[in-house]
Chain A
Amino acid sequence: MLALTILVDGITYASWLFVVALGLTLVFGVLKILNIAHGSFYAVGAYAAASLVSWFGSMGLAPEWSLLALLMAGVATAAILAPLTERGLLRVFYGRDEVLLVLVTYALFLILEDMTKLIWGANPFYVTEPYGLFGNLSFGSLSYVGYDLMLIVLAAICGGAVWWGLNRTRSGKVVLAVIHNPEIASSMGVNVSRVYTVAFLIGVFLAALGGAFTAPMISVQPGLSVGVIIVSFAVVIIGGLGSIEGAAIGALIVGLARALAVHTWPAAELFSIYVAMAIVLVFRPEGLFQRVQARKI
């Protein structure tokens, strides 16, 4: 049944998209920066996954280990790029004009584009080992790849972990305080700059994780980053910036809209996502789950 296919496709797509968008919205919520280079971290994660999986393979490890390689790709990308970016670059420009920060993240995007091309070349990579690990599941006449369904579980874990971390731990409450008012948090003794670093690290990790776990489903090649940032941006706009639930609902809406387009009118794929976004914005310009804004004057 077409509807079921669209549904499963949509939810699968929404899963990895949610992981990535979660990172984007978290970084925005805490640092108030909407990072254009977020898609680049995704791409690096995907490339790193390609390298690690083939390295594990060349060492003769069983295919199951490739999953660990994917996870490691995410961790390594975040561990290397996040501190470099946040401390080495963004910190220099904190407090400057908003537009300037946009340009800085755009410059970073440009730099990472070429760096990935320099390191990995321009030819596509195919990361095939992990994809077959979960076999196929049959529902009636249709068969679904287990890996795709695993992604749904991964998304749920990530979302749950972030929600639990923010709302049920002490450190999480500190982060929430910084989200609401960094100045006051700082005067209460919170090490705001450390919160920024950690939040950015988690954000990059989520992007890279998304990239790593999606790598087996796509061809990893130049141009990934811009596609991802455009779609992730649509998700966080629909869901409302800084909102976890928003990222989830936004991802679902985008995933389903795209699946619908891909199966009925493929040329309109990106277009359909933006139509969905436009419809939401007409009724809720702040997104679906925007938090209450503080007084400005």
Chain B
Amino acid sequence: MFRTISLGLVSIAVIVLASIWSPKWLLFPATMAASHGIVTLGIVLMMRSGVVSFGQGMVFACGAYCAALLAKHAGINEALLLVPAGGLASALLALPFAPLLARYRAIFFAMLTLSLSMVLYGILVKTETLGGSDGFNVARPQIMGMELPADMANLGMFWLSLAFVGALSIVMRIYFDSSRGLVALAIRENELRVEYLGSSVQKMIGTDFVVAAFLAGIGGALTGLTLGHIEPNFSYWTTSGELVFAAILAGHHSVAAVYLASFVLELVRSFSALYFPNTWQLALGLFLLIVIRFLPQGLGSLWIGSRQRGDKQ
């Protein structure tokens, strides 16, 4: 595990250096990959126990709106306050739903989370004080009290995202490698047995849902602050779907794979928006089918190899 973490930190350092010379068209998807990747990490967390959330848009939007509203109405301008606040708000939003959702699996869990995100979407669209269907703009935040000069803004937001990526990835790696992390894999295999061994599966899935919501809130806040704009679309099913797609592409073994998958998705999205705006979903759906059919364990499995001792890497 320490090897993985060191490797990860070194990679981040390398990326930080490389980004100084990176062209803008690459920096933006990279920043989106980082902030979306954090959300996807939460989906992967839940996937390890065998539940797939198709509605992370709900908590993603919550984090974004919360951070934006704090910036706009409470005069808070510091990113290092706004982003965690977004995470916290999302965790609190998820808390009352967690016990209900934890009773359901597979398609039910998927559909319930999808539905919740669409309910929030409906509420956001119809609420004029939150900007209605257009949403509203967010000013660029300060980082550690420092204003970002215009030419450094994109780089600054990227590094901010990387900081959260680094911190949260380390935490999640430790979590995945812990006893609790191993039991999560067991839940996916045989829930009944886990119950018979004396542990509450519902409590564990519920907890994971809240943790994933926290991650999604952080990702949402980062995304909103980077884009400078938030809108109800953050909670639309298409947003949730892309995040799930990244999780499937990544698989649930490697944390690094999550960011790689997110980055691939962002690049494909940028090109598709330019050349195939009407078939983006079609391509995604086909690609998803191919991944499910031929690489059901995701990209991560490519370098983990077939001899897996539980979940090591």
Contact = CB atoms under 8 A, between A and B. Distances in A.
B288 A102 contact: no
B52 A226 contact: no
Interface stretch (B10-18, B167-175, B211-219, B273-281): B273-281
Contacts of A110: 241, 281-282, 284-285, 288
A147 interface: no
Secondary structure of the B side of the interface? helix
Contacts, number: 103
Interface string A93-111: 1000011111110111111
A107 B286 CA distance: 7
B119 A274 contact: yes
Contacts of B237: 226
Interface of A: 34, 36, 89, 92-93, 98-104, 106-111, 113-115, 117-118, 122, 226, 229-230, 233-234, 237, 266-267, 269-271, 274, 278, 281, 285, 296-297
B122 interface: yes
B312 to A, nearest CB: 22
13 contacts: A34-B107, A89-B289, A98-B105, A106-B285, A106-B288, A107-B288, A107-B289, A114-B278, A118-B282, A230-B114, A230-B115, A267-B123, A271-B122
B7 interface: no
Contacts of B279: 114, 118
B9 interface: no
Nearest to A226: B237
B63 to A, nearest CB: 21
Contacts of B100: 278, 281
A114 B281 contact: yes
Interface residues of B, number: 40
Q: 5 tightest CB-CB pairs across the interface, nearest first? A: A110-B285, A114-B282, A111-B285, A107-B288, A34-B107
B73 interface: no
Interface of B: 47, 50-52, 54, 100, 103, 105-108, 110-111, 114-116, 118-119, 122-123, 126-127, 192, 237, 241, 244, 248, 278-282, 284-286, 288-289, 292-293, 296
A103 B122 contact: no
B202 to A, nearest CB: 12
A266 B122 CA distance: 11
A117 B278 CA distance: 7
B52 A102 contact: yes
Given A106-B244, A274-B115, A100 B285 contact: no
A106 B108 contact: no
Contacts of B292: 93, 100, 103-104, 107
Given A102-B52, A106-B54, A270 B119 contact: yes
A135 to B, nearest CB: 34
Contacts of B241: 106, 110
A233 B115 CA distance: 9
Contacts of A296: 192
A297 B103 CA distance: 20
A36 to B, nearest CB: 7
A230 B58 CA distance: 15
A111 B282 contact: yes
A91 B241 CA distance: 23
A36, A92, A230, A274 interface centre (most CB from chain B within 10 Å): A230
Contacts of A113: 281-282, 285
